[in-house]
Structures are given as C-alpha cells and as structure tokens.
Amino acid sequence: MIHHRKRDWGGPPLAWLNLIHVKGRLIVAISAICFTVALIFMQLGLFSAVLKSATLIYDNLNFDIVLISSKSLEATFTQPFSRQRLYQAQGIKGVASAMPFYTSFFAWRNPQTHQTRQILVLGFNLRDQVLKIPEVYEYITALQRQDTVLMSRLSRNDFGSQTVGLKTELADRKIQIVGSFSISNSLRADGSVIMNDQNFIRFSTGRSLDDVSLGLITVEPNTNINTVISNLRQLLPKNIEVKSRSEAENRDQKYFILSTFTGLVLSISAVAAFVVGIVIIFQILNVDVTEHLHEYATLKAIGYTNYYLSLVVLKQAVLMSSIGFIPALFIASLLYKIIYEVTKLPIYLTLDKVIFVFFSSLIMCCLSGIIALRKVLVEDPASIF
C-alpha cells in the first residue's frame, strides 16, 4: 500500500504541483534563477575573456620556445633584453631559428578628434615568418616603406578611422595606414598596429634593434623541446626566462588573474556568482518547503523515507533550474554579443560554457533544495505538529 502511494506521490506530478501551487511565486522563482544563471554566464564569459586575451599575442606568433626578460610583466608589457641572447640560442643543437619580436605602447592620434590614446604596436623583421596572421604577409611590400603600419580592424572606434591611405600621428610622428588585419583586443590593449622592425625602432626613442621584447625560437623537426629548453636555461643568464608555449601562456594568465585589479575582481565575482545563486535559490525553496512542512511531515510519519522526500525536492529543483536556464541562455547570448561589439574582447558563448553553466545551475538548485529540506530530514515528524 505504501509502495503504491510512493509511486503516485513520488512521480514528477508532486514536484510540479508544488511548483505551480502559487503561480506568482513560481514566476518570481524562475525569474530569480534566470537572473542567477545569466549572472554566472556573464562572470564565466568575462573570466574566460581575461584568460584568452592574456594569450592573444602568443596565439598569433609562430614559435616553440620564447625568451622573455624576468622583469617583464607579460607579453605586451616587456622589459627589453639583448639580441645577443638570440645569437647564443641559435647555436644550441635542435634550434631551427631564433627571431626577435618587438612590442610597446605608443600614443595614437585620432585623425578626426585629434585626441591621443595608447595603442599596442607590434614590430618584426619582414623576412621572418613570425606572425600566424596570413593577411599580414599580403602587405609586405607596403610595410617595407618608411612610417607605415597595418591597423587591426577590431581596434576600438576611439582610435578613429582605419581607412587605408589615411595619415595621422603615432608617437608624435607621421604615420600612414597601408592595410588591415584582425586580432582581438585585450584588457590592456584596445587596439593594435603592426610595423616592420626598422620603423618600430624609429618610433622608439632611445631604443635599438638590439633591444628585443621577445625571442621566438622554433626547433627542428623531431627535436625534443624539453631538451632544448633545458640547454637554453643552462646557457642563458637567470634574468632571461625560457618558456615553452604553454608555460608562457600560463605565466601571462597567472599575471592577469592574480596581479591585475580587473582579473582579481572577475575571479572573485565568478565564485561569488555561484554562492549568490545558491543563496537565492535556497531562499526560494526554503519558503516552499516551510509552507509544505506539515505535508512533508505527514508523508514522513506514514512511512515515506528521507530519500523519497529528498527526491521530490530535487525534482522540483531540477524543474526550476531547467525552466530558468532557457531564458538565461538567450539573455547571455545577447549580452555576449553586445560586449563583443563594444569592446572586441574575445568573449564567446561556446558549447563547453553552456554545458558547464547548465550543470552548475543543476548542482546549485539541488544543493539549495537539500539545505532547505534539512528541517524535515533531521526532525521528528511529531515535533512539527
């Protein structure tokens, strides 16, 4: 008899009836969950954008091993080191090439408003296959000319028109845009340009071609990269860090997450969003459980187990989570698109994010439901009446 009741009461209808018992509260609950899930989507998206933007330079460079000064904060904010280190590296067995790369920030003058803004400048020897951006090499001839640059078409509108042929000023010198390329922005750089190394030095007061920002090393086929790295670390002074691609990316990601204000805030916010979600959903389910406390106590008194009562609340939590997730996904997709259009940061709604947030919301709801039900699970039904 009890088994028959459990089957009737324990199916989805009981959880659903609990949800729709007060329709106004259901709407409020779904709205709260929608807000919470959308908040998690946003925090996760912004956090992943920080991680992605931290490696944007490396993602677009052709190398197996990178040399960087130990005083450098990250790939776009470097302390130069002597090019002599690249000549030393070239002599290591297994090294195919050792190429210099230059990065810095110069003042770019908006040709329309005449306001200046710092822009990321990337310089390289045009004979080196340094960049993994094929369209750059379509403009090699134009880049050979003095005082010419390619400008990222994803640079923010604050830098003004990007029309090919346009002339303006960079670091208080005349410059002409001769082409464009695409590279996303980062937390530090709202725009970027590329020029040849000779032009880069011409615009860098007090700096020469000997002052390298990054040393990009490629190894010969079938060469053990770890062996080359070990040999380079023994050869080069301690103020030169020798990193594999993954090590270099982890170094810059760690810097942005732990050492920048924005990274710290987003890291904390990502955790806080999950905690806030648990609190909000707990409050919703706690009110529902409290209202039905006598009913749950009655079921427990006539023989229903804690497992069964937990299952009812968990089903209710899963229903709430699933219903609230759908509009939250739509809202997050819209917000991701708006943020990308405004900032050009690499913020994308990917399948792995959708899956992660969906299961996170399920865990939040289920955890909140169990916490809300604790009063029924631990107390004697007689004490509730």
**Strand 148-152 versus strand 173-181 pairing type:** parallel
384 pLDDT above the threshold of 60: no
Q: State whether the Cα torsion 374-376-382-384 is positive or negative.
A: positive
126 pLDDT above the threshold of 70: yes
pLDDT band at 4 (very low <50, low <70, confident <90, very high): very low
Specify the range with the lowest mean pLDDT, choosing from 41-50, 96-105, 288-297, 310-319.
Answer: 288-297
- If you average pLDDT over residues 266-278, what whole number do you get? 78
Chain centroid offset of residue 58 CA: 15
**Residue that wins the pLDDT comparison between 55 and 2:** 55
Task: Share the mean pLDDT of the chain.
Answer: 86
User: Which candidate, 364, 370, 269, 276, places its Cα nearest to that of 314?
Assistant: 370
pLDDT for residue 22: 63
**Residue that wins the pLDDT comparison between 270 and 218:** 218
Provide, rounded to the nearest whole percent, the portion of the chain with pLDDT above 90. 51
pLDDT for residue 36: 83
pLDDT band at 19 (very low <50, low <70, confident <90, very high): low
- If you average pLDDT over residues 285-301, what whole number do you get? 73
- If you average pLDDT over residues 265-283, what whole number do you get? 77
pLDDT band at 3 (very low <50, low <70, confident <90, very high): very low
**Type of residue at 202:** R
**Residue that wins the pLDDT comparison between 102 and 285:** 102
12 pLDDT above the threshold of 50: no
pLDDT for residue 303: 75
pLDDT in tens, 134-150: 999 999 999 999 999 99
> Tokens representing 115?
């306001």
Distance CA 301, CA 348 (A): 51
pLDDT for residue 365: 78
Query: Model pTM greater than 0.85?
Result: no
Distance CA 70, CA 299 (A): 67
Distance CA 126, CA 136 (A): 10
- If you average pLDDT over residues 12-36, what whole number do you get? 72
Distance CA 3, CA 7 (A): 6
pLDDT band at 164 (very low <50, low <70, confident <90, very high): very high
> Tokens representing 79?
């302390």
Provide, rounded to the nearest whole percent, the portion of the chain with pLDDT above 70. 90
pLDDT band at 7 (very low <50, low <70, confident <90, very high): very low
pLDDT for residue 351: 93
44 pLDDT above the threshold of 70: yes
The owner of tokens 């993954």 is 246
pLDDT in tens, 180-233: 999 988 888 899 999 999 999 999 988 999 999 999 999 999 899 999 999 999
**Type of residue at 232:** L
Burial (CB count within 10 angstroms: exposed 0-12, middle 13-18, buried 19+), residue 175: buried
Distance CA 357, CA 23 (A): 26
pLDDT band at 381 (very low <50, low <70, confident <90, very high): low
- If you average pLDDT over residues 343-359, what whole number do you get? 89
Specify the range with the lowest mean pLDDT, choosing from 5-19, 28-42, 46-60, 121-135.
Answer: 5-19
pLDDT for residue 310: 76
